[in-house]
């Protein structure tokens, strides 16, 4: 201990709001893990035989780790050793593919006796540090192509290796670093295009290719409209198109339902119903036609006209739009191909369920369905602590790790979900605001990296439990059971707190 002067400066320099929200989230996580224990006689929350007891140990050790980072480690060292740590973890990431233990079809865990450790979790920290150190160099600019390639490599290397470990979820988190690059001056177009790709990908998975194509048409037309003289006219046209396009599947559904209803069994005139006969209905062939066929037909009919027009007028933007549209279409229709060749069997199955291609309540759709049932059954106020039936009776798989949010949704209802998401949003916003205050570029960029990591985990994890994201195993920061994840996020956040404190101490 360094005496009174230090303590005072600790009080003033540490962002207590961040630490308090961290502690509340960890506490909520611990209680939720306890609540999701499936047992007829609830054990003590400290019982080490159960996950709540183990998590208690993880929490204590994480707090110890936080103390070490704040009090014992010189924050300057993080920047200095960022490249070394990055390389060390990169080696571990590759090594785990050969030496790791296989869990759920992915090899990403090292096992040392009772303790397991996932390098992918640590990689988030080292990548953030290295990215911050690279971007904060005085002669460095993301807008320069060469420099952009460097940062792209820093992000892509661990991401690809983790993809190689079949941990799609963890790999997806690295896309969040694009927000950091955007903040540091990367053109908004890249963010937009990546955003569009992700949205198309997700809507193809969760909604339908029809919706994806509608979105693609809307975006391309809108971007085109900005450069046009007839802006309002095109906007009006777009509005009408979107309205008609969204009403059409509904109307078509009504029509086909009507036809399907007339293709029904007719019963005998006697009091007994004899085995039914199919009545032949002429319009029955319409049942096989899907609304998307119309959409594609319209697209293919209209597109050449635009292409020829753009070519004649030498309109580069128009040409680019046509190409973007075609690429987008190709993306939408190649998603299936991507699933079949890029994704692992269990991931593909989960995605197939999201697509509605398989609807087997006890099969692969089980996870999402049960998770949504659990959350939905919570209602507005929830069932109350330890009163959940869905989580407690084991309907939710991995209910204390990836699906911990179900317990919150079921037992604390919408109020609880609002509070938890609100806490996360507060935490992320607070980090961003703190980061912006910093004069040290390294601290600021690192802060953004932390915010991006927490955000990506939050969105993907909760999105998966409520059916708007595919089921890709990824923990909810600070809440999910498990030492690896808790430690990683503790270190990630407390390094920022320490760096921020350093700012406050000296400036």
Partner 1 sequence: MRDDRQIKILIGLGIAAAILLGKIFYIQVINGKYKADSISNSIVKEVIYPTRGVIYDRNGKIIVGNKVAYDIMVTPREVTAFDTLTLASVLDVDPQLIRDKMAEYRSNIKKIGFQSVAMLKQIPAETYMKFDEVKYQFPGFYGQVRSIRDYPINAGGNLLGYVSEVDAAYIKSHPEEYSIGDYVGKTGIEAAREKDLRGEKGYHIYIRNARGRIESSYKDGAEDKEASPGHDIMTTIDADLQRYGQQLMRNKLGAVVALEPSTGEILAIVSSPGIDVSMLADIGKHYEEISSNPYKPMFNRAVQAYYPPGSCFKIVNALIGLQEGVLTPSETHPCHYGYQFADDRKLGCHGHKSPIDMEESIMMSCNAYYCYVLRNILDNKKYASIDEAMDSWHKYVESFGFGKKLGSDFPSELSGSIPSAKTYNKFYGKGRWNSTTVISLSIGQGEIAVTPLHLANFCATVANRGWYKIPHLVKEFEDIEIDPKYYEKHYTMVDTTQFPKVIKGMWRAVNSAPGTGGTAWIAQVDGLDICGKTGTAQNPHGDDNSVFMCFAPMDDPKIAVAAYIEGGGFGAAYAAPIASLMVEKYLNGEIPWGPRKDLEARMKTSYLLNRVRIRRR
- Residues in the site for partner 1, rule: CB under 8 A? 38, 40, 179, 182-183, 265, 267, 270-274, 362-363, 370, 372-380, 389-390, 393-396, 409, 413-414, 417-418, 421-422, 424-425, 428-429, 432, 436, 455, 459, 462-463, 466-468
Indicate the residue among 83 and 397 with the shorter CB distance to partner 1: 397
**Backbone torsions φ then ψ of 112, nearest 5 degrees:** -120, 95
Instruction: For the CB of residue 271, give the shortest distance to partner 1 in the complex, in Å.
Output: 5
Q: What contacts 192, CB < 8 A, 6 or more positions away?
A: none
The SS3 call for residue 41 is coil
Indicate the residue among 232 and 393 with the shorter CB distance to partner 1: 393
Six-digit token string for 223: 């971007």
Indicate the residue among 282 and 380 with the shorter CB distance to partner 1: 380
Indicate the residue among 285 and 380 with the shorter CB distance to partner 1: 380
Indicate the residue among 167 and 184 with the shorter CB distance to partner 1: 184
CA distance 170 to 89: 15
Instruction: For the CB of residue 392, give the shortest distance to partner 1 in the complex, in Å.
Output: 9
Return the ∠ at Cα 488 (arms to 485 and 494), rounded to 5°: 135
Longest Cα–Cα distance in the chain: 99
CA distance 484 to 469: 23
> Are 454 and 427 within 8 A, CB to CB?
yes
Indicate the residue among 111 and 345 with the shorter CB distance to partner 1: 345
What is the CA 400 to chain-centroid distance, rounded?
Answer: 18
Instruction: For the CB of residue 272, give the shortest distance to partner 1 in the complex, in Å.
Output: 5
Q: Exposure pattern of 119-155 as b/e (b: 16+ CB <10 Å)?
A: bbbbbbbbbbbbbbbbbbeeebebeeeebbeebeebb
The alpha carbon dihedral of 271, 275, 277, 278 has a sign of: positive
Instruction: For the CB of residue 309, give the shortest distance to partner 1 in the complex, in Å.
Output: 33
Neighbours of 112 (CB within 10 A): 7
H-type helices in 269-364, by residue range?
Answer: 291-312, 316-341, 345-354
What is the CA 483 to chain-centroid distance, rounded?
Answer: 21
Indicate the residue among 120 and 375 with the shorter CB distance to partner 1: 375
Instruction: For the CB of residue 391, give the shortest distance to partner 1 in the complex, in Å.
Output: 10
Task: Of 347, 350, 373, give the one whose Cα is nearest residue 360.
Answer: 350
Instruction: For the CB of residue 36, give the shortest distance to partner 1 in the complex, in Å.
Output: 12
Indicate the residue among 344 and 430 with the shorter CB distance to partner 1: 430
Instruction: For the CB of residue 415, give the shortest distance to partner 1 in the complex, in Å.
Output: 10
Indicate the residue among 84 and 265 with the shorter CB distance to partner 1: 265
Indicate the residue among 254 and 429 with the shorter CB distance to partner 1: 429
Instruction: For the CB of residue 372, give the shortest distance to partner 1 in the complex, in Å.
Output: 6
Q: What contacts 443, CB < 8 A, 6 or more positions away?
A: 132, 435, 496, 499, 500, 502, 503
Instruction: For the CB of residue 458, give the shortest distance to partner 1 in the complex, in Å.
Output: 8
Indicate the residue among 69 and 408 with the shorter CB distance to partner 1: 408
Burial level of 353, CB count in 10 A (0-12/13-18/19+)? buried
Instruction: For the CB of residue 73, give the shortest distance to partner 1 in the complex, in Å.
Output: 28
**Backbone torsions φ then ψ of 260, nearest 5 degrees:** -60, -35
Instruction: For the CB of residue 378, give the shortest distance to partner 1 in the complex, in Å.
Output: 6
């Amino acid at each position: 201990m360094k005496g009174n002067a230090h303590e005072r400066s600790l009080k003033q320099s540490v962002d207590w709001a961040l630490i308090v929200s961290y502690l509340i989230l960890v506490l909520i996580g611990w209680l939720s893990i306890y609540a999701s224990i499936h047992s007829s006689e609830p054990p003590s929350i400290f019982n080490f035989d159960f996950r709540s007891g183990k998590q208690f140990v993880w929490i204590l050790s994480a707090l110890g780790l936080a103390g070490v980072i704040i009090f014992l480690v010189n924050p300057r060292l993080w920047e200095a050793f960022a490249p070394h740590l990055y390389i060390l973890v990169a080696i571990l990431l590759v090594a785990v593919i050969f030496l790791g233990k296989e869990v759920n079809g992915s090899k990403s865990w090292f096992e040392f006796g009772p303790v397991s450790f996932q390098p992918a979790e640590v990689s988030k920290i080292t990548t953030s540090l290295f990215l911050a150190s690279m971007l904060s160099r005085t002669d460095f600019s993301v807008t320069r192509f060469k420099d952009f390639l460097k940062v792209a490599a820093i992000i892509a290397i661990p991401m690809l290796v983790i993809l190689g470990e079949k941990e799609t979820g963890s790999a997806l988190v690295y896309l969040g670093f694009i927000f950091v690059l955007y903040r540091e001056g990367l053109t908004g177009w890249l963010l937009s295009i990546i955003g569009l790709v992700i949205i198309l990908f997700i809507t193809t998975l969760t909604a339908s290719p029809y919706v994806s194509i509608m979105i693609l048409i809307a975006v391309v037309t809108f971007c085109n409209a900005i450069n046009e003289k007839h802006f309002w006219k095109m906007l009006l046209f777009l509005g009408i198109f979107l309205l008609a396009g969204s009403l059409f599947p509904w109307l078509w559904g009504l029509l086909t339902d009507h036809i399907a209803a007339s293709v029904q069994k007719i019963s005998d005139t006697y009091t007994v119903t004899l085995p039914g006969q199919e009545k032949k209905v002429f319009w029955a062939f319409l049942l096989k036609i899907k609304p998307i066929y119309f959409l594609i037909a319209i697209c293919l009919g209209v597109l050449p006209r635009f292409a020829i027009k753009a070519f004649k007028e030498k309109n580069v933007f128009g040409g680019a739009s046509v190409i973007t549209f075609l690429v987008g279409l190709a993306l939408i229709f190649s998603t299936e191909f991507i699933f079949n060749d890029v994704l692992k069997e269990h991931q593909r199955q989960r995605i197939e369920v999201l697509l509605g291609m398989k609807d087997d309540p006890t099969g692969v759709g089980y996870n999402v369905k049960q998770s949504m049932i659990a959350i939905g059954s919570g209602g507005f106020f929830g069932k109350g602590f330890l009163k959940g039936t869905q989580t407690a009776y084991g309907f939710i798989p991995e209910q204390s790790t990836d699906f911990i949010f179900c317990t919150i949704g079921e037992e604390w209802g919408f109020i609880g979900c609002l509070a938890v998401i609100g806490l996360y949003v507060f935490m992320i916003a607070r980090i961003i605001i703190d980061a912006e205050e910093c004069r040290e570029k390294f601290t600021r960029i690192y802060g953004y990296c932390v915010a991006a990591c927490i955000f990506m985990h939050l969105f993907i994890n909760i999105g998966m439990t409520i059916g708007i994201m595919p089921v890709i195993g990824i923990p909810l920061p600070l809440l999910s059971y498990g030492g690896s994840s808790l430690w990683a996020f503790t270190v990630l956040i407390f390094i920022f707190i320490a760096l921020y404190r350093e700012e406050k101490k000296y400036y």
